[in-house]
Amino acid sequence: MLTFETVNELTLKVTCSGNDVLFTKAGSFIAGDSAGGKNYRFEKLLLGPQNNLGQAILGSVLRRATRENIPLMKVTFSGNSVTYYANCSQHVVVYRLAVGEVVSVESENILAFTQDCEYNVRFIGCGVISQKGLATSTLTGRGNSAYVAVLCDGNPIVLSNLQSRNTISVDPDAVICWMGQSGYCDPQITTDLTWKNLIGQASGESYAFEWSGNQPVSVIVQPSERTGGIRVGID
């Protein structure tokens, strides 16, 4: 069994009891501690984390076509150990998925997940004007040890309307991931385009992801924006 926790906000600590498998961003391992010799090994995943070969090939093709492909490695444990993972001093956020719960996350923000998470890529149809394309990565809880660790540039903030039922609006270039109580809970796209965009006088906030009060969701946002998106203007 694997458990996740953060160390000093910047490092993921993975504790393994017995035999298990972990999937992480390739090259993210920084240290390990195991009794009686090293009892874990690393393997680069050529296709994907799916056990079925056909699904792994299809998933690999889809991830490359949608720019959601990330280099993953498989860590195989054969005993009790503690290992540590990090990426470029980015902050680490740990989340444990309930069975059937889904987190939609940008592929570049995935640090690690357990084999109790089902990993897929799907089309959301509204990312065309964000920094990404029309797809996002999803992780679905399929067991009692469905842990996910995501990366964030700086300390994240968490917005939730599970209790308040308020409307949540965020910049797509700052979104890390979102989790809904039912299904994927995809956002609506809202735009604020005027004639000022055509003369290069846009506010810089011309589009947003929005969840209404009828969409119970929790959203993790980082305090920085990715470079991208559509820029409309006339020089």
Q: Is the dihedral of CA 135, 118, 69, 112 positive or negative?
A: positive
Q: Is the dihedral of CA 100, 106, 110, 115 positive or negative?
A: positive
Kindly report the length of the chain.
235
Q: What is the pLDDT of residues 177-208, one digit of tens each?
A: 999 866 678 888 777 654 444 444 444 556 78
Contact 15, 79 (CB under 8 A): no
Asked, for residue 230, whether it belongs to a domain, the answer is no
DSSP annotation of 187 reads P
Q: Write out the two tokens for 69.
A: 């492909």
Contact 181, 203 (CB under 8 A): no
Asked, for residue 228, whether it belongs to a domain, the answer is no
The number of folded domains in the chain is 1
Q: Which domain holds residue 61?
A: 2-221
Q: How many CA atoms lie within 13 A of 174 on its CB side?
A: 20
Asked, for residue 93, whether it belongs to a domain, the answer is yes
Asked, for residue 235, whether it belongs to a domain, the answer is no
Q: Is the dihedral of CA 131, 220, 24, 76 positive or negative?
A: negative
Torsion, CA 46, CA 48, CA 49, CA 52, rounded to 10 = -100
Res 206: pLDDT: 63
Find all residues with CB under 8 Å of 49, minimum gap 6, and list them: 23, 56, 72, 74, 115, 119
The ranges of the chain with pLDDT < 70 are: 46-69, 123-135, 181-183, 192-206, 227-235
Res 186: pLDDT: 84
Res 225: pLDDT: 84
CATH number of the domain encompassing residue 37: 3.60.160.10
Interatomic CA distance for residues 106 and 152, integer angstroms: 11
State residue 57 phi and psi, 5-degree precision: -65, -45
Asked, for residue 128, whether it belongs to a domain, the answer is yes
Asked, for residue 157, whether it belongs to a domain, the answer is yes
pTM of the model: 0.80
Contact 110, 151 (CB under 8 A): yes
